Amino acid sequence: MNEVTPAPPPERPPTASIEAEILRRESAKAFRGAVWGVLKALLVVAAASVLLSMLWIPVLRVYGESMLPTLRDGEIVVAIKQSTFKRGDIVAFYYNNKVLLKRVIAVSGEWVDIDADGVVSVDGEVLDEPYAPEKGLGTCDIELPYQVPDERWFVMGDRRLTSVDSRLSAIGAVSGEQIIGKVALRLWPVADFGRVK
């Protein structure tokens, strides 16, 4: 009869090798956990940024020259959502699937008058408008003097001769539903970063 000799038991790896392998696997698991945690945090920050910019702090790009010299074509600004605006505020609002940026000249109930030279009066007082260096009546088809309806704002561009604004009956005084927010901060160009006045 043939005798079979049992194979010797496999040689056990040294304890140091086992401990090193356990440490390597734990380190790899910890690294994957850290990477996953960072990715989740970045996704949350990105989603919050998009939501914040859409709902409360819209970021807008300036197109055109109707707000010169205050805002120039290509600049990037931030608008702050709010429900009340005062004379001098620059607001962003929707008109005909476009976003326009204009300055509030008069609020609800006030009377606006503009003479042939473009001098603007509100409730009989001539406005001091250092932001509008070029005066002019521009394109105007509303009947002057004009009383701003309730819960609306009369807006005009700073470059009066070329601006399309509340002087046109097609736009008229802007309602709260149209307004995106008050333009508060210039982000770009970096050299001009700061508050918009």
Name, in order, each residue with C-beta under 8 angstroms of 67's C-beta and a sequence gap of 6 or more: 90, 101, 102, 103, 157, 158, 159, 163
- Token output for 131: 């932001």
The three-class DSSP label of residue 119 is coil
Kindly compute the dihedral angle of the four CA atoms of residues 108, 113, 173, 128, in this order, to the nearest 10 degrees.
-80
- DSSP codes of every residue in 140-188: --S-SSEEPPTTEEEEE-SSTTT--STTSTTT-SEETTTEEEEEEEEEE
Active site residues: 66, 102
- Token output for 111: 């009377």
Burial class, 41, CB count within 10 angstroms (exposed 0-12 / middle 13-18 / buried 19+): exposed
Residue with tokens 């001539």: 126
